[in-house]
């Protein structure tokens, strides 16, 4: 799923467009004991409660694709078992208590969380509007009905103690602490909404923690192929650079590679139809355009493939935003100095040999400020 398809679904979680028919859930304590179940017809809930659910559901479809939102594909061994179980869960419209209990048990057994939490499931049927030639939605010409289940797993924590204003008495007293449902730590959408159509072979996973995945949940509840976390993608890309260039990994070449990446990201911002991933072939072109010589490029395929031994050729790709520095800042380090520079301003820094010593030279175009003091 691309960002535009995810955003289309997020827009459904409003009073005007909502088609959720049912919400169910299971409240679990830190000892993995079920405390309570919820079973609600969504349309009869008070608007205030609906808005709270909308906030949870939108959060379960938020974040950066390839980082917090992960396109997951079932393992080959799971296609006839776990996928079919999720299809039965969806097709039941959350009305089959036996299937729901089986799903809750799978989550409780595998989900790694210390504390109370609630498993929330929502079922919705969406008449997918057609898209006109001028890229506008035509809601009167639906071409497909997309039925899906959205799961959100949210922490339940005691509210903070404090003073509360009591209007009748016109004074403040100690407030009673209560258990409150927080925004989700994890969730998933099934089936995926690929190219605006149902895709039963995939699902979209949301994870608040993009650095370390809950492998038990992914394997036991979803039985999907675990993707490479965003920080690890960046590490692998950096390793490919150093392994390919070896002793020719100089500042100028690395700067050129970052500039090429920056250009690609800017181009894709302007065209949301372009995939958010970057392929092996595209990365190879970046290296070539950045001045990597032919001899070093002979290392590229071998070094690249070594990091994707179990992946299919078409899956040996990265999410391009995961390769770019956080906040568009590049950090340059020596043993004694650390410098941060805007990714698109790396040309103000160059390396030179001065008096026989390797030096970083920073061009000062305007004012120079040291610890808040303007200096000459």
Residue 204's pLDDT is 96
Give bridge partners of residue 125 from the DSSP assignment.
147
| Co-location of 151 and 7 in the same domain | yes
| Co-location of 297 and 351 in the same domain | no
Phi-psi region of 117 (alpha: psi -120 to 50; beta: other; left: phi over 0): beta
Single residue among 169, 197, 222 that ends a domain in this structure: 222
| Co-location of 199 and 179 in the same domain | yes
| Co-location of 33 and 151 in the same domain | yes
> 3-class DSSP state for residue 100?
helix
Cβ 260 vs Cβ 286: under 8 Å: yes
* Residues whose CB is less than 8 angstroms from the CB of residue 294 and which lie 6 or more positions away in sequence, other chains included: none
Single residue among 283, 298, 324 that ends a domain in this structure: 324
| Co-location of 195 and 342 in the same domain | no
How far are the Cα atoms of 40, 173, 255 from residue 349, in angstroms, in the given order? 61, 60, 10
If you write DSSP's letter for every residue of 203-253 in order, what string do you get? Answer: EEEEES-SSS--HHIIIIII-BPPPPPHHHHHHHHHHHHHHHHGGG--HHH
Residue 228's pLDDT is 86
CA–CA distance, 27 with 156 (Å, rounded to integer): 9
Cβ 288 vs Cβ 280: under 8 Å: no
Residue 311's pLDDT is 66
| Co-location of 215 and 245 in the same domain | no
Single residue among 192, 222, 252 that ends a domain in this structure: 222
pTM of the model: 0.83
* Residues whose CB is less than 8 angstroms from the CB of residue 6 and which lie 6 or more positions away in sequence, other chains included: 61, 65, 69, 193, 204
| Co-location of 78 and 97 in the same domain | yes
| Co-location of 115 and 201 in the same domain | yes
| Co-location of 105 and 35 in the same domain | yes
| Co-location of 35 and 170 in the same domain | yes
| Co-location of 315 and 369 in the same domain | no
Residue 186's pLDDT is 95
* Structural domain boundaries enclosing 178: 3-222
- Residues in the chain, pLDDT under 70: 78-79, 132-142, 272-273, 309-315, 325-327
How many of the other CB atoms lie within 10 Å of CB of 235?
13
| Total structural domains within the chain | 3
Residue 166's pLDDT is 85
| Co-location of 268 and 313 in the same domain | yes
């Amino acid at each position: 799923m691309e960002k535009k398809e995810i955003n289309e679904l997020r827009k459904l979680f409003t009073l005007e467009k909502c088609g959720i028919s049912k919400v169910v859930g299971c409240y679990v304590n830190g000892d993995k004991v079920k405390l309570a179940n919820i079973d609600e017809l969504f349309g009869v809930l008070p608007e205030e409660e609906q808005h709270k659910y909308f906030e949870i559901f939108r959060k379960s479809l938020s974040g950066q694709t390839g980082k917090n939102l992960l396109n997951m594909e079932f393992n080959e061994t799971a296609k006839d078992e776990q996928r079919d179980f999720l299809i039965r869960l969806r097709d039941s419209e959350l009305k089959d208590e036996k299937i729901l209990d089986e799903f809750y048990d799978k989550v409780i057994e595998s989900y790694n969380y210390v504390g109370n939490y609630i498993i929330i499931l929502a079922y919705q049927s969406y008449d997918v509007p057609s898209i006109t030639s001028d890229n506008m939605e035509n809601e009167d010409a639906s071409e497909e009905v997309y039925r899906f289940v959205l799961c959100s797993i949210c922490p339940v924590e005691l509210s903070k103690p404090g003073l509360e204003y009591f209007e009748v008495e016109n004074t403040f007293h100690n407030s009673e602490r209560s258990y409150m449902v927080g925004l989700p730590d994890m969730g998933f959408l099934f089936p995926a909404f690929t190219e605006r159509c149902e895709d039963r072979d995939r699902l979209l996973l949301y994870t608040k923690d993009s650095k370390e995945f809950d492998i038990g949940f992914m394997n036991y509840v979803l039985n999907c192929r675990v993707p490479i976390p965003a920080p690890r993608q960046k590490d692998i890309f950096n390793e490919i650079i150093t392994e390919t260039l070896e002793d020719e990994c100089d500042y100028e070449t690395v700067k050129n590679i970052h500039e090429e990446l920056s250009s690609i990201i800017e181009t894709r911002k302007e065209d949301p139809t372009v995939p958010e991933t970057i392929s092996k072939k595209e990365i190879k072109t970046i290296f070539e355009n950045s001045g990597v010589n032919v001899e070093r490029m002979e290392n590229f395929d071998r070094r690249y493939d070594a990091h994707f031994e179990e992946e299919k050729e078409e899956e040996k790709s990265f999410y391009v935003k995961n390769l770019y520095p956080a906040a568009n800042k590049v950090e340059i380090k020596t043993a004694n100095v650390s410098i941060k520079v805007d990714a698109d301003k790396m040309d103000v820094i160059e390396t030179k040999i001065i008096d026989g010593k390797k030096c970083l030279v920073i061009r000062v175009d305007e004012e120079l400020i040291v610890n808040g003091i303007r200096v000459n």
